Structure 1
Amino acid sequence: MYIVTKLHYHQQSHTLDVYFDDGQQYTLSAELLRTHSPSAEVQGHGKGEMKLVLNKHNVAIASIEPVGHYAVRLCFDDGHNTGLFSWQYLRTLCTDQQALWARYLERVKTHQDSEHSVPIKFMP
C-alpha cells in the first residue's frame, strides 16, 4: 500500500502534485480529479458505469482537508466536496491517468454526438 507524503496544489495551472512514500511523484489536473471523484454522486450507487461529469474545464480545488492518515477530501470550487480520495485511489488515478482520461474523452464525445443527433423523418 502506498502512502501520500505530500500534496501541492498549483492555483494557476489547477494541478495537484502528489508525492508517494516510494519516491514517485505525479501531477493530476483538477478536472481529472473532479470528473473521477470517488463520491457516490460520480461513481454511482451500483456496479453500473460511473456518471459522466461535464464542463469542468476550469474547475479548481478550493481546499484540501486531511481525513485521518489514509485520505483527503478535495473541495472543488463548484461546490462538490463529497469524495474521499484514499491514498490507494490517488495512486490509481496517477498511474492510470492516461487511460482514464482517454476513456473519459471517449464518453464525452459519445454524449455530444448523441446530443447533437437529430432524427430524420421520412415522409411517404
Structure 2
Amino acid sequence: MSAPIPTRVHYHKQARDLELDYANGESYRLSAEYLRVFSPSAEVRGHGPDTAVLQVGKKDVGLLNITQTGRYALKLHFDDGHDSGLFSWDYLYELATHQETNWADYLERLDNAGASREALGIPLKQL
C-alpha cells in the first residue's frame, strides 16, 4: 500500500522546517537537518548498509529550493550544496511517521562516532 500524498507542502524558512499536510488531517514538520541527514541519495546512504556516510555538522542547514519530480517525489536543494536524491512521497511519509525513532538512532550514531551536529569552521551563507 502506498503512502498518502501530501495535500500541502510548505517550507518555514525561519524555523527551517518542511511541513507536510495530509487529507486525513495528519500534519508533520520535518527539520531541514533531519531531511539532510536522512537524504535518500547514494552520497548519504551509500550503495549498501555498510557504505552509508554519517552526516555531521548539519544543525544549521536549510533549504534553498524545492522542486516536484513528476507525481511521486520532491527534490530538495539544501544550502550546503547537497541536492541529489529524490524524496518520494512514500519515503517522506516514512520519515514523518518514524521521526522520533530515526532521530534518536542518528544522535546515538553521532555520539558513538564522537561527532557533532555543529558545523566545523566558519559557516558561510550563500546569497
TM-score category of the 2 structures, normalised to the smaller one: 0.7 to 0.9
SS at match of 1:48: helix
Q: Are positions 1:112 and 2:114 aligned together?
A: yes
TM-score, normalised to structure 1, is 0.86
TM-score, normalised to structure 2, is 0.84
Q: Report Cα offsets for 1:29-78 as digits up to 9, x if no partner.
A: 00000000000111111232632000001000110000001100000000
- Give the count of matched residue pairs: 113
Q: Which protein has greater RCO, CA pairs closer than 8 Å, 6+ apart?
A: 2
Larger radius of gyration: 1
1:1-124 aligned at under 5 Å gives the runs 1=2, 2-48=4-50, 50-112=52-114
SS at match of 1:89: helix
For 2:24 and 2:16, how far apart are their aligned partners in 1? 25
Gaps in structure 2 of 5+ consecutive residues = 116-127
Q: What does residue 118 of structure 1 align with?
A: none
The amino acid that maps onto 2:28 is Y
Segments ≥4 residues shifted beyond 6 Å:
none
Question: What's the RMSD between the two structures over aligned residues?
Answer: 1.3
Gaps in structure 1 of 5+ consecutive residues = 114-124
For 2:40 and 2:23, how far apart are their aligned partners in 1? 22
Identity of aligned residues (%): 47
